[in-house]
Every structure is written in structure tokens, then in C-alpha cells.
Amino acid sequence: MEFDLAFIWAGIIAFAVLAYVIMDGFDLGIGMLFPLLHDEGERDVAMNSVAPVWAGKETWLVLGGGGLMAAFPLAYATVLPALYAPITAMLIGLILRGVAFEFRWRANDKTLWDISFVAGSTIATLAQGIALGALVQGIEIAGRAYAGGWWDWLTPFTILCGVSLAIGYMLLGACWLVLKTEGELQARARRFAQRAGAGTLLLIGLVSLWTPFLQPSYLDRWFSWPSMAFSAVVPVLLLGCVWALYTGLRGAGHDSRPFLAALGIFVLCYAGIGISFYPHMVPPNLTIWQAAAPDSSLGFLLVGALVLIPMIIAYTAYAYWVFRGKIDPKASYH
Amino acid sequence: MLPDAIDLARMQFAFTVAAHIVFPAFTIGLASYLAVLEGLWLVTREQRYLTVFRYLKTPFAVVFGMGVVSGIVMSYQFGTNWSVFADKTGPVLGPLMGYEVLSAFFLEAGFLGIMLFGLDRVGPRLHFMATAMVAVGTLFSAFWILSVNSWMHTPAGYEMNAAGQFVPADWWAVVFNPSFPYRLVHMVLAAYLTTAFVVGGIGAWHLLRDPDQPAARTMFSMAMWMALLVAPAQIVAGDMHGLNTLEHQPAKVAAMEGHYDSHKGAPLILFGWPDDEAEETKYAIEIPHLGSLILMHEWDGEVKGLKAWPKEDRPPALIPFWSFRIMVGLGFAMVGLGLWSGWMRLRGRLYESPWLHRVAVAMAPSGFVAILAGWVTTEVGRQPWTVYGLLRTVDSASPLDAPAVGASLLAFVVVYFAVFGMGVFYVLRLLSRTPQPAAVDDEATPMHAAGLVPGPARKLEAD
């Protein structure tokens, strides 16, 4: 039986990026909510709710980048120059955010690294949203190289995507706090989540209405028969998640309901982008198979990926299990 | 004249990779050292090994964290600044880097958490296994990355496809390309020596304050054994690596030696000022025939000079000439310190020799300098190629405008100096504390099951 290795690898990389987005998304969201928290005590609790599981998430981002170069070198070589400024900003944001986790507890005054944490989270998130938007609006390729200018990524649409992702991450972060905290902080997180939830839905609507008009193929995918029958599933499921989020934030069900609903919204939006893109890796012209490395490269790395990725998933799940439950603000975590 | 986009991209890569290599160079050696310490503690049950282990664990975690964030940058540099290189070599080099992520990150991230979890939670045996796995993970990481780098110096096992990409023909030949075994041994020994000199410097610093400090004695003694035994081994490994370079990249060796003319019975130029325009090494102080003796192991062996290659295929000579001398000079200084410490040990004065300790403190950073000098030698010496003899550096870069590359370079420089400068300051502050037998901060070490970096450790008492 012949395996379509390029298709399998597109799936692996899509999975790695999704894993990164939903897992680091709520950390970055908490980073952006940081200034809205009342005092150092609340900030300590918020940071402690993600600190133990933060760093493993970066593995997925490196896997997304490294895997893309291995499996789709042409996509890697055209997308990254096209998104030069946002990618650079994202990397710098992640440095500022990442070191704050550790340095904050070593400094005499936490303020400097609180600022670093907030600024890094905000920069990284806006850059990720803008990069995604720039990819959706299409990347100009001539021959085997990026052919556009170095400001092409900056358009009203990409700005909208950056803001949307920021609000969306704040929703994830606030829902995570609802899950992990109690009392006054939890009540405040609920109010944050209600506002961020409303904002997220509004922005998803705007981006969804705008997207089909960026590329003719997107319009076909969503509004012509028979593909419409399949793609219509996404908005229907989305409505289900919105209902779960709404009721969850009003107190129904377990404290995990808003978070799971918000995750569902992210997964569905991601699936929606995937539906728009397929079969392209880099819209509008580069398909998965054009961008792929030869089968000898894909097969060589696939052997390792099939063994090691399940192990990574296992230890990640274990870490979340170990740190389940509410954060006790009085526990001397440090 | 303003630098063009390619020069800026080269500066950016040189800066980000040089900043990055400092951290893993230290953690590769320190991970193995921590495993040795814990193993010795398990076997002998002597408290001093555990004290040193706990003392060095926290600085390890901070440095490891800086290695991770600077490493994420590296995984994107190939695409942002060197997209043509990435497209052409991706099918060959991408999977090797993919294995680095999957195997090394997995081992390190999975077991670092348990290693920092605290002995009390998982028991000494499982904990020792975790420490050993972290050490193995750092070595896997070095294995794959050095394989990638070596392939750029001595490409093998590839074919070209219609799109002009390098594609794998024989994975065994790709991974174990001709310069890889030499480079791997040379770099791993370098990382071990770097760690040994840092640990020796810390030990010496505390011995200067209190010659009876037991943990300081352990650190200093173990480090000086490393200097005595490993520094000479590194000279042998370096010589073999040099001979391998002579076989595959003779132009690089000519630049390192400052030879423009080919000659039989070539002299060894000790010092001088290589001038690529004039095609001669000015103000040369040389020893007749020694160059041939060292390189060819023959009195009258013929050594090729740079003029044997067309000008556009030559590396610049000045930088490799001097960086090579810095590396070699530090290598011999390390051997010297090792011998001195051996002599003092024989006389039973290892812990009561303030001048030995002062020199050891001064030489604490020597490994970092030697590693950077060595990498500068080999990478500048590879020019003008990214894939040696096959793909030129000028043909490898992304189609970018100079202001874009310059702005990102500036951003990286500012952020790196600020952030990693603070990080190094925090590490030094941790190390300025005297090691305490029952590490006071241990009970408060945060739980941390999986993650590349430890959770925020408790604020220090000393602060």
C-alpha cells in the first residue's frame, strides 16, 4: 500500500502548530491579562497556574519550524522571508516572555520582569496573528523564492487577525484562570472571559466574512456545492461551543466547561482555515505536494516522529495530570 | 559604505549562533557532571557530592532556559535569512534537525522536570536515571546538530534533483560525513573542558575565602583532574581534526596558517598579519620547517598556500589566523593549569595554593572563549561557501532588503544583551553563595513535571 507521505506530514505539522496554539495560547493570554490583575498576589497565582507546564509547549513551536524545513523546505523558504518582521517580533516576544518565568523570582524587584512578561506575551501574540493573516491573504512566489516586499504582511486584514488572536488568547487565558482559581480572582476571570468571549465571536465573524473574498478558491470552498455540505459542519459545531461557553461562564457545569468550550472554538477556527487552504500549503499557488521534500526525506523522519511524538504527548498529558486542581494562593510555591 | 543585506544576514547568524552556543556548551558538560556527581553520591553516600549536585542544579536550570529560548531563534534563522539555503538543503539537513528536536528535546524536556522535581518525590534511583537521561539528551542534541554542521563542511551521501535541491542518497553517509566524528569528539571534549574550568573557577573562588570549604574542595579537585587529563586529550583530538580539515578543506588550513605561497618544508608562522590584498603575511615570526612537520608530519612536506586557489574561492585569512591562535593558546594554557594543579596535588598543597586558585578563577571563562574562537576559525574558514565547494554564501541568502535584516539584527543585539546579560548576572549571584550541605532551598523547589525550564524557583535568602 502506498502512503502519501506529504499528506501525512502536512497533518503532523498542522497538528504541531495547533498543539502549540492552544497550549501556549492560554499562557500568552494570561500574560496579556496580567496588567488587569489587582496585586502581586494575584499575579503570582496566575503565573503559577501556567509556570509548571509552560516550557514543554515551546517544543511544539520548534517542531513546527524544524518539521516544516524538513518536510516542506520550499514552504519554509518562502513563508519565513515573507513573514520576516512578524516572525522576528514573535521570537523576541517569546524570549522576553520566556525568561520572565524564571528571572521574575531571582530579581530584587519583580516589576521589570512583569513588564517583560506582559510585553513579550503581547508582541508574540500580535505577531502570530499577523503572520497567520498574512499567510491567509496569500504569499507571492516567483520561481522558488518569495517575490513580495518586506511590508506585504501589513494590511488591515492582518491587523484584524492580530487583534482577533489577542482577544482569543485572552479568552483562553481567562477561562484557564476560571478553571484553576477560586474566589474573587475566579469571579474576575469570569467577567474577563465574558467580555473576551463576546469580542472573540465578533472578530471571528468579521474575519470569516472577509476571508472568502481574499482568494476565489476560498469562496468556492465555502459557498459552492458539494464542498459546502462538508464545510457547513464547522459553523454548526461552532454554535454548539458558543452555547457551552455562554452557559459555562454563567456558572453551569464544571469549572472546566468554559475552557473546553474555548478550546473547541479555537480548534474549529483552525479547521476552518485548513478547509480554506487545502490542497495548498502556501496560498494561493503552492500545494502540499509541490512544497514537499522527496519521500526519502519524509520517510526517514517519519519513523522517528511516529515513535517520539506519542511519547511527547504522553509526558505532556502526565504533566497536566500532576498539576491538576486549583492553585492554592497560600501554598509557598516558590 | 553601508553593509549589504547578505553581510547583515551573516552578522545576524554569527551573533545569534555565538550567543546560543555559549549556553549549550556549558549545559552539555554540566549535565554529564551532575550525573557523575549523583552517581558518586549513590555509590559512596558521601554528603559532599550531593551538596555540589544541589548547588549546581539551579544555575544549570537558568542556563538551560536561556539555551532554549536562544535555540528557538536558531530554528527559524535558516528560513528568515537563508531561505535559498533552506530550500536547497532542507531535504538533507531538515530531517537531521527534526531528529534533534524529537530526540533531544524529548529527553531533556521529559526528564529535566523529574531531575528538578526533587529527590524526595521519586526516589534516588529514578532520579538518577532522570539526570542521566538529561545528560544523554544534551549529547544527542550535540550529535545531530554537529552532524548538520559537518555536512556543510564535508557534504556526502547526496544527489541533486531537477529543482537544484540536495536530496538524500545514503542517510548513513549523510549523518556520518567525513568531518563529523572529529568535530563531534572535539566539540564534546570542549564542552566538558568548558564546564570543568567554570566549576574549577567556582571552587577556587570559594577556596580563596575558605580553604577548608568541603564542597569547594570537591569541585576544585574534580575540575583539576579534568584539566590534567582531558586538556591534553583535547590537543590530540584537535590535531586529528586539523589533519581531517587539511584533507577536505586545505584552503581553510592555509588561511589558519597564514600561508599564501605553497612550499615544501613550510615554516610555522607563529604570529603575523595576513593581508589578503597583498597576498602575504606581514611581520611574520616563523620557525622553519615546523609547519610541514605539524601538518604533514614530514620535514619537507608540501603545504599548499592560498594562491593555489582562485581568489573568489579563498577564505579570508586574517580572522581564522588569529582566532585559531587564541584557541590553541588557551588550549595550552589549560594543559598548563592542569599540570600545575597536578604538581601541587603531588605536594599535597592543592587546596592551599592561592596563586593556583587565582589563576583558576581567571581561567574560568577560558573554555567559552576557546569554543567561540574555534567556531570562528572553522566557520570563517569555510567561506565563501555554505555547503563547501557546492553552494556559495552569496547564493544562499533570502531575497531581503538591507533595512529589514539590519533592523532585526539590531533588535536581537539589544534584547540579547539586556536579557542574557541579566541572566548571567543572576547565575553569577547564585554561584557567589557558599555551597551549604543541606541545601536550604531544596524543599521549596517547585514541582515541575515536564518542561524545558524549571519552574520559578524560590527567591533567594541572600537577596
Instruction: Give residue-wise pLDDT tens across range B150-166.
Output: 999 999 989 898 888 89
A304 to chain B, closest Cα gap in Å: 7
Q: How far apart are the first and last CA of chain A?
A: 55
Helix (H) or strand (E) holding B136: helix B124-153
pLDDT of amino acid B2: 67
- Chains A and B form CB pairs within 8 A to the count of 274
- In this prediction, residues B329-354 reach a mean pLDDT of 92
Dihedral sign from CA coordinates of A250, A125, A271, A325:
negative
Instruction: Give residue-wise pLDDT tens across range B28-37.
Output: 999 999 999 9
- CA proximity to B265, closest of B309, B305, B298, B242: B298
pLDDT of amino acid A1: 44
CA angle at A267 for the pair A266 and A269, rounded to the nearest 5°: 65
pLDDT of amino acid B413: 92
Q: Residue B448 pLDDT more than 50?
A: no
How much of chain A, in percent, has pLDDT values that exceed 70? 94
The answer to whether B388 touches B154, Cβ cutoff 8 Å, is yes
Alpha helix locations (H) across B258-382? Answer: 290-296, 318-346, 354-362, 366-382
Mutation for testing the B interface, residue in A57, A59, A151 having most B CBs under 10 Å: A59
Q: Residue B446 pLDDT more than 60?
A: no
Q: Are strands A286-287 and B385-387 parallel, antiparallel or unpaired?
A: unpaired
Q: How far apart are the first and last CA of chain B?
A: 48
Q: Which residue has the cell 574549577?
A: B200
Mutation for testing the A interface, residue in B72, B93, B175 having most A CBs under 10 Å: B72
Cβ–Cβ of B459/A334 closer than 8 Å? yes
- Higher local confidence (pLDDT), B118 or B27: B27
Cβ–Cβ of A52/B447 closer than 8 Å? yes
pLDDT band, residue B441 (cuts 50/70/90): very low
Coil, strand, or helix at residue A142? strand
Measure CB to CB from residue B91 to each of A63, A99, A297 and give the nearest one.
A297
- For A3: left if phi > 0, alpha if psi spans -120 to 50, otherwise beta; the answer is beta
Q: Which residue has the cell 588550513?
A: B253
- In this prediction, residues A173-199 reach a mean pLDDT of 87
Q: Sort out which chain B residues have CB atoms less than 8 A from A54's CB and list them.
A: 451, 453
Instruction: Give residue-wise pLDDT tens across range B62-115.
Output: 888 888 888 888 888 888 888 889 889 988 998 998 888 887 777 777 677 777
Instruction: Give residue-wise pLDDT tens across range A83-109.
Output: 888 999 999 999 898 888 778 877 778
How far apart, in whole angstroms, are the C-alpha atoms of residue A151 and residue A138? 13
Residue A63: all three cell numbers together:
517542531
How far apart, in whole angstroms, are the C-alpha atoms of residue B463 and residue B461? 6
Identify residue A232 by its one-letter amino acid code: A
Cβ–Cβ of B452/A74 closer than 8 Å? no
- In this prediction, residues B314-320 reach a mean pLDDT of 90
A149 to chain B, closest Cα gap in Å: 8
User: Which residues, including other chains, have CB under 8 Å from residue B173's CB and lie 6 or more apart?
Assistant: B156, B157
Measure CB to CB from residue B83 to each of A67, A81, A105 and give the nearest one.
A81
Q: Residue A48 pLDDT more than 80?
A: no
Coil, strand, or helix at residue B4? coil
Cβ–Cβ of B452/A58 closer than 8 Å? yes
Q: Residue B184 pLDDT more than 90?
A: yes
Cβ count within 10 A of residue B124: 13
**Cα A290 to the center of its chain, rounded Å:** 26
Cβ–Cβ of B463/A318 closer than 8 Å? no
Q: Residue B458 pLDDT more than 70?
A: no
Cβ–Cβ of B62/A322 closer than 8 Å? no
Cβ–Cβ of A102/B68 closer than 8 Å? no
Q: Residue A329 pLDDT more than 50?
A: yes
The pLDDT mean for chain A works out to 84
A296 to chain B, closest Cα gap in Å: 7
How far apart, in whole angstroms, are the C-alpha atoms of residue B1 and residue B64? 39
Nearest CA in chain B to A91: B73
Coil, strand, or helix at residue A4? coil
B438 to chain A, closest Cα gap in Å: 18
Q: Sort out which chain A residues have CB atoms less than 8 A from B98's CB and list them.
A: 63, 66-67, 69-71, 301, 304-305
Q: Sort out which chain A residues have CB atoms less than 8 A from B164's CB and list them.
A: 144
State the ipTM, two decimals: 0.84
Taking every pair of Cα atoms in chain B, the longest distance, rounded to a whole number of angstroms, is 69
Model's pTM, two decimal places?
Answer: 0.87
- In this prediction, residues B253-262 reach a mean pLDDT of 86
Cβ–Cβ of B73/A91 closer than 8 Å? yes
Cβ–Cβ of B444/A84 closer than 8 Å? no
pLDDT band, residue B231 (cuts 50/70/90): very high
Nearest CA in chain B to A296: B168
Nearest CA in chain A to B414: A92
Measure CB to CB from residue B426 to each of A106, A311, A333 and give the nearest one.
A106
The answer to whether B12 touches B81, Cβ cutoff 8 Å, is yes
Cβ–Cβ of A315/B78 closer than 8 Å? no
- Higher local confidence (pLDDT), B377 or A249: B377
Measure CB to CB from residue B83 to each of A55, A78, A116 and give the nearest one.
A78
Cβ–Cβ of B444/A332 closer than 8 Å? yes
Cβ–Cβ of A63/B102 closer than 8 Å? yes
- In this prediction, residues B38-54 reach a mean pLDDT of 89
How far apart, in whole angstroms, are the C-alpha atoms of residue B142 and residue B190? 12
Cβ–Cβ of B102/A296 closer than 8 Å? no
User: Which residues, including other chains, have CB under 8 Å from residue A165's CB and lie 6 or more apart?
Assistant: A125, A126, A128, A129, A132
Q: Residue A332 pLDDT more than 70?
A: no
Q: Sort out which chain A residues have CB atoms less than 8 A from B62's CB and list them.
A: 102, 106
Q: Sort out which chain A residues have CB atoms less than 8 A from B461's CB and list them.
A: none
State yes or no: cis peptide before B435, omega within 30 of 0: no
Cβ–Cβ of A102/B452 closer than 8 Å? no
Burial class, B232, CB count within 10 angstroms (exposed 0-12 / middle 13-18 / buried 19+): middle
Cβ–Cβ of A297/B92 closer than 8 Å? yes
Q: Residue A231 pLDDT more than 90?
A: no
Measure CB to CB from residue B459 to each of A95, A105, A311 and give the nearest one.
A105
- In this prediction, residues A131-146 reach a mean pLDDT of 84
Alpha helix locations (H) across chain A? Answer: 5-33, 40-48, 51-54, 58-71, 73-82, 84-103, 111-137, 156-180, 183-210, 216-223, 227-231, 233-249, 257-277, 288-291, 295-322
Q: Which residue has the cell 535558516?
A: B78
How far apart, in whole angstroms, are the C-alpha atoms of residue B14 and residue B411? 15
- In this prediction, residues B44-56 reach a mean pLDDT of 88
* Weakest-pLDDT range from A156-165, B120-129, B216-225: B120-129
How much of chain A, in percent, has pLDDT values that exceed 90? 12
Nearest CA in chain B to A291: B87
